[in-house]
C-alpha cells in the first residue's frame, strides 16, 4: 500500500472523533446533542427524527451508516413487502418518512433538507493520482520508422544484387583429403584464431582464448556497473572494447593478407594475396 | 445488384470487381477489422496507428517509437539489416537446396551443375555466399554499435547476452555452410577450424569426433554439417531472434540518446 496523504488521515481522525462524540451524546443526552455539533450538518447526518424506541444497537460497520438511511430502507422494505396492508395505515411503515417531506406511499427517496444526493468525499487529483509520466518525443512507426527500414533494406539488397552479378563465389577443385593446399586457411572470421595458433599451444589459442573472450563479452553488463551511457563517463569501457576489437581486426587482417605459403609472413603487394572468401 | 447499365469500360469493370472483392468474406477474413486494406487510407494519426496495429509488423514495432530511434545515424540499421540478410539467406538457401545433395560423391558436381546449367544458379549462389559474409560482418558491427552506445546496460543486460549467443550462432551457421561446396577451399578451411576443437579440455577429441562424424572430414561430416546448416542451427537462431526482438520492446525500445 502506498502512503495515505496527510490531509486524508487528518480528515479520517476528525470524523472518527466526531462519531465518537455523537455516540456518547446519543447515549446519555437527547438526540439534539449530536445536532448541536457544527460538523454534523456538514456531513449530512440528520437530526434524528422521532426514532422508534426499539431501534437496535448497531455495531461494526452498521454503526457508520447514518440513522436516516436505516429508516428509509426500513420504510421502503415495509412498503414493498406489505403493499396492501400498508395502504391501510402507517402501522407497518412505522414512523413517517424520516427527514424528507415525501408523501405517504411514495418511497422516501430524499435525504435531509430535501437533498436527493449527498457528497461522500472530494478526492483531489493531485494527491492520489501521481501522474509522473513525462511527455516523450515520439513519432509514428508508420511511416517514419518503416520507411527508413525499407530504404536501408533496398539499398543493401541492391548492393548485394550488383555485387553478386559481378563477383563470383569461389569454387575450387573437388575436395581431396590427400592434397593439402599451401597455405590452408580457415574462414576469414577464424583467421584471428589461426593467427594465435602460430603463437600459442592449440588448446590456448583455439579453445581457451576464444572461450574466455566470448564469456567475458557476454557477461559485460554484469561487471560493468557504470550506469552512464555517456561516452565522457565511460572512457575505460570504451578503451577496453576498442582495444579488443582492434586486436581481433588486426589479427584477422594479418591472417588474411599477410600470410602466404607455410603461413609465413608475406606482403600482399609483393608476393600476391593468399586469400579466398 | 444493379444490372441495368453494366459498362464494358475496363476501368469500370476493374472498379466493380474491386468493390465486390472489397466486401467479400474472403477479403474481410484476411484483413483485420481496422486494417487500412479494408477501410482505405487517408493520412491521419489514427490511420498511422492502424497501419501498425493491424499488421504483423506489430510483433516487431510499437505504434510509436522515440524520435531519435528513427535516426539512421544512431543504429545504422545494423540489427534490422542482419535480420534482413538472414531472410535473404533463407530464401536463396532454399533455392540452393533444390539442386544440392550432401554426399561426398555428388555435392561438388551439383554445385558445378548449378553454376553452369541452372537459370540464375550462379547468381543465387553468389548472393548466398556474399550475404553470409555480410551477415557475419553486420552482426559483428551491430554488437560494436550496441557496446559503444552503452545499450547493454540495465534493463537490457540479458538481451546483450542473447545477442552474443546470436553472434555465436551466426558464426556457426557460416562455418557449417563453408564445408558444403565440398571443394578444396571448403575441406581445408574446415580442417584447420576443427583441428582446434580437438584440444577442448576434458572432452578432448570427442568433440571433434562428434562434429566430424569420424576422425577426419568425410562424407559423414558433410551430411552432419548439412543438417546443422539447413535445419538445426536456423531453427535455434530463429528462436533466439524471437526472444531478442521481443526483449527489445519489453525493455523499452532501443536505448536513449547519449
Give the model confidence (pLDDT) of A23-78 as tens digits.
Answer: 887 555 444 444 444 444 444 444 454 444 555 566 666 677 778 888 888 888 88
B180 at A interface, C-beta within 8 A:
no
Structure confidence at residue B33 as a pLDDT band (50, 70, 90):
confident
Q: How far is A274 from chain B (nearest CA, A)?
A: 12
Is B42 within 8 Å of chain A by CB? no
State the nearest Cα–Cα gap between B177 and chain A, in angstroms.
11
Query: Rounded CA gap, B226 and B180, in Å?
Result: 7
Of A108-112, A250-254, B67-71, which has the strongest mean pLDDT?
A250-254
Q: What pLDDT is stored for residue B20 in this prediction?
A: 83
Most confident of A80-94, B34-48, B104-118: B104-118
The pLDDT, as a whole number, for residue A131 is 62
- What percentage of chain B carries pLDDT values higher than 70? 98
Question: Chain-wide mean pLDDT for chain B?
Answer: 91
Mean pLDDT of A3-29: 81
Amino acid A86: pLDDT: 44
- DSSP letters of B2-59? --S-----HHHHHHHHHHHHHTSHHHHHHS-TT-HHHH-----HHHHHHHHHTSGGGG
> What proportion of chain A, given as a percentage, has pLDDT over 70?
70
Give the per-residue pLDDT at A167.
95
Closest CA to B167 of B96, B231, B78: B78
Confidence grade of residue B5 (pLDDT, cut at 50, 70, 90): low
Domain ranges of chain A: 6-128, 139-168, 176-271
Residue A240 is placed in which grid cell? 577496453
For strand A138-140 and strand B64-66, is the pairing parallel, antiparallel, or unpaired?
Answer: antiparallel
Rounded distance between C-alpha atoms, residue B140 and residue B153, angstroms:
18
Pick the CATH number of B76-250 from 3.20.20.70, 1.20.810.10, 3.30.565.10, 3.30.160.60: 1.20.810.10
Q: Which of A139, A177, A229 sits opposite B67 (nearest CB)?
A: A139
pLDDT (tens digit per residue) in B20-29: 887 788 888 8
Q: Which three cell numbers stand for residue B7?
A: 459498362
Tell me, what's the pLDDT at A27? 54
Q: What's the pLDDT band for B159 if we cut at 50, 70, 90?
A: very high
Contact of B237 with B192, CB cutoff 8 Å? no
Please say whether the beta carbons of B90 and B70 come within 8 A. no
CA distances from A152 to A137, A182, B138 (A): 23, 40, 13
Rounded to an integer, the average pLDDT of B209-224 is 91
Which residue would you say has higher pLDDT here, A110 or B135? B135
> CA–CA distance from A224 to each of A59, B151, B186, B205 (Å)?
62, 12, 40, 36
Instruction: Provide the ipTM.
Output: 0.89
* d(CA B67, nearest CA chain A) in Å: 5
Contacts of B187 (CB under 8 A, 6+ apart): A175, A176, A177, B179, B217
**Which of A92-96, A270-274, B146-150, B163-167 is the least confident region?**
A92-96
CA angle B249, B252, B257 (to 5 degrees): 120
The answer, yes or no, to whether residue B91 has pLDDT greater than 70, is yes
The whole-number pLDDT of residue A125 equals 65
For chain B, the structural domain boundaries read 10-59, 76-250
B148 pLDDT more than 50: yes
User: What's residue B167's pLDDT?
Assistant: 97
Chain B residues near residue A241 by CB distance under 8 angstroms: 144, 147-148
Q: List CB contacts (< 8 A) between A145 and chain B.
A: 61, 65, 69-70
User: Chain B residue with minimal CA distance to A179?
Assistant: B184
Mind listing the pLDDT tens digit for each residue in A166-215? 999 999 999 999 999 888 999 999 999 999 988 998 888 888 899 999 99
* Distance in angstroms (rounded) separating the CA atoms of residues A19 and B248: 56
| pLDDT tens, position by position, A97-128 | 444 444 455 555 666 667 777 778 777 666 56
CB proximity B10 to A under 8 Å: no
Lowest mean pLDDT among A5-19, B94-108, B216-230, B232-246: A5-19
Amino acid at each position: 500500500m502506498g502512503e495515505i496523504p496527510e490531509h486524508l488521515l487528518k480528515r479520517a481522525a476528525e470524523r472518527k472523533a466526531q462519531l465518537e462524540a455523537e455516540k456518547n451524546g446519543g447515549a446519555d443526552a437527547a438526540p439534539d446533542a449530536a445536532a448541536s455539533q457544527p460538523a454534523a450538518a456538514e456531513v449530512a447526518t440528520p437530526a434524528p427524527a422521532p426514532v422508534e424506541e426499539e431501534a437496535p444497537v448497531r455495531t461494526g460497520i452498521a454503526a457508520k451508516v447514518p440513522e436516516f438511511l436505516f429508516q428509509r430502507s426500513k420504510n421502503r422494505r415495509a412498503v414493498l413487502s406489505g403493499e396492501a396492508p400498508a395502504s391501510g395505515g402507517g402501522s407497518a411503515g412505522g414512523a413517517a418518512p424520516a427527514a424528507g417531506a415525501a408523501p405517504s406511499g411514495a418511497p422516501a427517496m430524499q435525504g435531509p433538507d430535501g437533498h436527493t444526493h449527498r457528497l461522500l468525499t472530494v478526492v483531489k487529483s493531485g494527491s492520489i493520482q501521481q501522474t509522473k509520466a513525462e511527455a516523450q518525443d515520439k513519432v509514428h512507426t508508420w511511416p517514419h520508422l518503416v520507411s527508413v527500414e525499407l530504404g536501408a533494406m533496398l539499398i543493401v539488397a541492391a548492393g548485394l544484387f550488383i555485387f553478386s552479378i559481378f563477383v563470383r563465389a569461389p569454387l575450387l577443385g573437388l575436395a581431396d583429403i590427400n592434397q593439402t593446399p599451401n597455405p590452408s586457411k580457415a574462414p576469414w572470421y577464424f583467421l584471428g584464431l589461426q593467427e594465435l595458433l602460430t603463437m600459442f599451444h592449440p588448446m590456448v589459442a583455439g579453445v581457451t582464448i576464444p572461450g574466455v573472450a566470448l564469456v567475458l563479452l557476454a557477461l559485460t553488463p554484469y561487471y560493468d556497473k557504470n550506469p552512464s551511457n555517456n561516452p565522457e563517463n565511460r572512457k575505460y569501457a570504451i578503451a577496453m572494447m576498442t582495444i579488443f576489437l582492434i586486436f581481433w581486426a588486426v589479427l584477422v587482417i594479418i591472417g588474411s593478407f599477410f600470410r602466404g605459403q607455410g603461413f609465413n609472413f608475406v606482403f600482399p603487394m609483393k608476393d600476391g594475396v593468399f586469400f579466398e572468401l | 445488384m444493379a444490372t441495368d447499365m453494366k459498362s464494358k469500360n475496363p476501368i469500370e469493370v476493374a472498379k466493380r470487381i474491386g468493390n465486390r472483392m472489397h466486401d467479400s468474406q474472403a477479403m474481410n477474413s484476411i484483413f483485420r477489422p481496422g486494417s487500412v486494406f479494408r477501410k482505405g487510407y487517408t493520412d491521419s494519426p489514427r490511420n498511422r496507428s492502424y497501419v501498425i496495429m493491424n499488421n504483423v509488423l506489430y510483433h516487431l514495432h510499437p505504434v510509436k517509437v522515440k524520435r531519435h530511434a528513427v535516426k539512421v545515424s544512431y543504429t545504422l540499421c545494423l540489427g534490422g539489416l542482419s535480420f534482413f540478410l538472414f531472410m535473404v539467406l533463407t530464401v536463396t538457401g532454399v533455392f540452393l537446396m533444390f539442386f544440392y545433395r550432401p554426399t561426398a560423391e555428388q555435392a561438388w558436381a551439383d554445385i558445378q551443375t548449378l553454376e553452369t546449367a541452372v537459370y540464375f544458379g550462379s547468381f543465387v549462389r553468389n548472393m548466398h555466399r556474399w550475404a553470409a559474409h555480410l551477415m557475419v560482418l553486420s552482426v559483428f558491427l551491430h554488437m560494436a554499435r550496441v557496446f559503444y552506445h552503452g545499450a547493454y546496460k540495465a534493463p537490457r543486460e540479458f538481451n546483450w547476452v542473447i545477442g552474443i549467443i546470436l553472434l555465436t550462432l551466426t558464426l556457426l551457421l557460416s562455418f557449417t555452410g563453408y564445408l558444403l561446396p565440398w571443394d578444396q577451399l571448403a575441406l581445408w578451411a574446415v580442417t584447420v577450424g576443427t583441428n582446434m576443437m580437438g584440444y577442448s579440455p576434458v572432452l578432448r577429441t570427442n568433440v571433434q569426433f562428434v562434429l566430424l562424424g569420424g576422425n577426419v572430414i568425410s562424407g559423414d561430416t558433410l551430411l552432419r554439417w548439412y543438417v546443422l546448416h539447413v535445419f538445426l542451427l536456423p531453427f535455434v537462431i530463429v528462436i533466439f531472434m524471437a526472444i531478442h526482438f521481443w526483449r527489445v520492446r519489453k525493455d523499452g525500445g532501443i536505448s536513449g540518446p547519449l
